[in-house]
Chains A and B, each alone.
Chain A
Amino acid sequence: MEVKDANAAMLSNYEVYQLLTDLKEQRKDSGKNKHSAGQQNLNTIMYETLKYLSTTPCSRQNPETVKNFLTTMVPHKLTKAEKLQLLNHRPETAVEIQLMVEESEERLSEDQIEELIQKVTDVLPGDPEQEGSAPSNEAEMGEGIDQ
């Protein structure tokens, strides 16, 4: 076996989540040989990875939201890795943004950080349990949650 390119493309959590969910559907239909010894590894890793990813914001995303997110991020001039982390984690506080964006004190002013949080929480769907209020209030709740 030969590895041609160990870093051909970065994948968002959403893409992997989608791939695994589709694979699970496919395997459910085929039925008979999922439980053979050779398939156990695939079953284990699929189950565990899906379990982990379903607790992250990516489980509530769809291709539309990802595309909208990337379009809204264009004016902020963030690197690919930074945008990927924002997409995977959906940060809601300034402290989280500072962790994910390198040298954020130099590159972003406080207002820009607020703007970034606002855009992230608007475009990417949040956890309905956590937000706990009527959909009409969602735009205001994004900024002022006291937990």
Chain B
Amino acid sequence: MSFITQSALKTTLACSNTLWQPCGRAVRMLPPSLSRTNSSWWGQVEMGPPDAILGVSEAFKKDSNPNKMNLGVGAYRDDSGKPFVLQCVRKAEQLISDSALDKEYSPIVGNADFCKASARLAFGDDSHVIKEGLISTVQALSGTGALRVGAAFLDKFHGSKEVYLPKPSWGNHTPIFKHSGMNVNAYRYYDAQTYGLDEAGCFEDISNIPEGSVIVLHACAHNPTGVDPKPEQWKEMSKIIKERKLLPFIDMAYQGFASGDVDRDSFAVRHFVEEGHNLVLSQSYSKNMGLYGERVGALTFVCSSPDEAKRVESQVKIVIRPMYSNPPINGARLAATILNNSELRQQWLVEVKEMADRIITMREQLVSNLRKEGSTHNWQHITDQIGMFCFTGLKEQQVERLTKDFSVFLTKDGRISIAGVSSKNVAYLGHAIHEVTK
């Protein structure tokens, strides 16, 4: 059976949440040779389905309502609704510009200073895995790149091709693992009744995951729900994962951005490391340093020995080279400069806390506005959840109404990006949500 038809079947049968569709039909049957001037290579190529999240932004742009709100955006906005360039980033940029550095190729694994600093940020300066040389950290193309390279490595070298994602998970996780050749499965996570963690379902499903499988965990600020396990729940998950001999692949895209505290946000990562899991870690600096378009990230493998870390890294390089050869330098230089310069690092910690605090404040204000409107629903989950995203619990029809009647744009699953909320529009949003849910 052709490659595409096979994956087409898997797509239809497996995750219904996937945004990835097969490219086209009957790819083995290329068009018969028509007259050379008329035949095209691309005749059978179907139009790809629109991206659900980008679709929200497109629709928002077209709307002329002055009160419109874009709650689909996955990038931080300040209280004026503008993109926010951190001061520490501006300063780092100036420093780098002044240094007149060259543009020679980076090593395949990227900037060494960046990789080291990134590992220390994730695991803690005193982490034994760093001290004992047990890790391999490579620079990656933000979180996506780290996940993709990690997945490609696992597809080549890991015994199992089974990956388990929380249900729901970030839309891009599925195609990342699928394109890497792995099979995507789910474990229960979000409880639509409580708008919180489905602890029983989650623990039960994890206990039944076949040994050796890969389990993806969101370190903090779960995307799209905003629901994070509490420390006690993390501890229990760690135990079960250990018992099942699963390989944890942790996606940390919001360290510092979730609670405002980089150590607190990496609790799960550090606990798992302490518990001896040889985990894989993806880090992104898109949100916490506002470096979105620079594509700054890191991929770490925690190994059993320095020799193993070396061998693993040598193979990771073999995955990277035929994908993009070596990573872009600009963002990594910025991140390394910030992390390694004590003044800039301090400033960064203040600024990332400011971003996190604004998000937390908006959550609080949204809830208080809903109450002011007279809503009788329990909106506690809005303040219980954490990070950029919030699963409001709104049903599809309510979402439609929000968009149609109030020009509030969000994804069908009821997810809103709190980054799109400001002190100027939070009252309007509270009113709108109340209107569609009363």
Task: Answer yes or no: are A and B bound together in one complex.
Answer: no
